[in-house]
Amino acid sequence: MKILIVGSGGREHAIAWSVSKSPKAEKIYCAPGNAGIAEFAECVPIGAMEFDALAAFAAEKEIDLTIIGMDDPLVGGIVDVFEEKGLRVFGPRKNAAILEGSKAFSKDLMKKYHIPTAAYENFDDPEKALEYLRTQARFPIVLKADGLALGKGVLICNSLEEAEAGVREIMQDKKFGTAGDRMVIEEFMTGREVSVLTFVDGKTIRPMTSAQDHKRALDGDKGLNTGGMGTFSPSPFYTDEIDRFCREKIFQPTVDAMAAEGRPFKGIIFFGLMLTEDGPKVLEYNARFGDPEAQVVLPRMKTDILEVMEACVDGTLDKVDLQFEDNAAVCVVLASDGYPVKYEKNIPMYGFENFAGKDGYYCFHAGTKFLDGQIVTNGGRVVGITAKGKDLKEARANAYKATEWIQFANKYMRHDIGKAIDEA
């Protein structure tokens, strides 16, 4: 098969690596890709939002399957454009990607189909939102911009004053652009967070092994929200009992709800869950793999990724037995110092050769590029260092050991990725 992957981050590197292991893969292209993906895929300089150019490329190269890694093109309808042209593509159509694209939509869906989530109200008028806040006695309270906001559109407000300022930021100052035309105000929940990524074919859902992200920039979950500073898989807190509950009360009901709404979902549903005292509840849905969740889940997947993805497209996922290794993986993100606010780029990087021939160790590129033949930094999150181990402790020790192998002048990382394991 000839495969095209759309995206340029660590997630797309992990997807491309996984595809490259498939005996079905003959040639891999990635648009636009990055310096790491270029090792086993041909990178083509077409942006992820250039739907017509991407479809024309897929037609010209006779691509057998295009895999969309990122949320923006999915929410923007890239799958519809490919399907109209008769091209095979992995990912939800626009009318299903709305599960991630509109938080107001996803909250209303959960309410209508009794899927456990935080209590909430939707608003499209800032005055109504402010009025509502003044009737609320319990803080913190959570404000969410309705649309895509690079994972930054969620504000946890500790007082009425903070929440009022948050409404103004989101709905009036448009800090997150049109994502803030509408917003959700919801109850603050407490508990452990866990991510479960799943394959879906419109009817059948096959959950992958669980993972946990670390979204804050600094050790001890302090500092600003980021795209994710590290992950581990599996989550020791995601027990068999919780898994059974989620399959029965959250996963399948979500797939059934989307089908009932005339929005059958094919692709990846990423369930962001909180394990509260009252049971697991949905924090958010994403319509794609997580980044850096993919970097710990895919290295542990035994089943051929192309076999599963084709089954999702064809509606035959019920025939697939999805298998994962009985081990663990940890990913530590090496970022540019100053991320997510201000940081330098184009810094030369060294040490990639240290990963050659080391089984169970991976350096997934997120923000890198070639400059005069040398790999340099090209983003806030630069690479994700993943290592496997027989258990989480071993995987964590291996991952931190491997973080030493890559050098660049403004390298920054968290030192407590997977620390929660010690409490399990």
- List interacting residues with ligand GLY (CB under 6 A): 151, 213, 228, 286, 290-291, 293
Measured from the CB atom, is 186 or 201 closer to ligand AMP? 186
Q: Under 8 Å CB-to-CB from 238, ≥6 apart: which residues?
A: 194, 196, 210, 275
Question: 47, 66 in Cβ contact below 8 A?
Answer: no
d(CA 282, CA 117) in angstroms, rounded, equals 5
Helix (H) or strand (E) holding 255: helix 252-260
Which residues, 283 to 312, sit near ligand AMP by CB under 6 A?
283-284
Minimal distance in Å, beta carbon 128 to ligand GLY? 29
Nearer to ligand AMP, 59 or 150 (CB): 150
Q: What angle do CA 249, 250, 255 make, to 5 degrees?
A: 115
For ligand AMP, give the closer residue by CB, 178 or 407. 178
Contact partner, 154, from ligand GLY, ligand AMP, none, Cβ < 5-8 Å per class: ligand AMP
Helix, strand and coil in the chain, % to nearest 5: 35, 30, 35
Please choose which of ligand AMP, ligand GLY, none residue 118 contacts, taking the beta carbon within 5 to 8 angstroms, the exact cut-off set by kind.
ligand AMP
How many residues in the shown chain lie near ligand AMP by CB under 6 A?
14
55 vs 145 by CB, closer to ligand GLY: 145
Which 239-268 residues touch ligand AMP, going by CB under 6 A?
Answer: none
Specify the stretch interacting with ligand AMP by CB under 6 A; choose among 89-97, 181-189, 306-314, 396-404: 181-189
286, interface contact from ligand AMP, ligand GLY, none, CB < 5-8 Å by kind: ligand GLY
- Amino acid at the residue 365: H
Which of ligand GLY, ligand AMP, none lies near 189, with the C-beta cut-off 5 to 8 A by kind? Answer: ligand AMP
Which DSSP string corresponds to 32-98? E--TTGGGTSEE----TT-HHHHHHHHHHTT-SEEEE--HHHHHHTHHHHHHHTT--EES--HHHHH
Q: Confirm or reject binding of residue 193 to ligand AMP (CB under 6 A).
A: yes
Report the distance separating Cα 253 and Cα 243, nearest Å: 14
CB atoms within 10 A of CB 236: 17
Which residues contribute to the site for ligand AMP (CB under 6 A)?
A: 118, 142, 151, 154, 156, 186-189, 193, 215, 272, 283-284
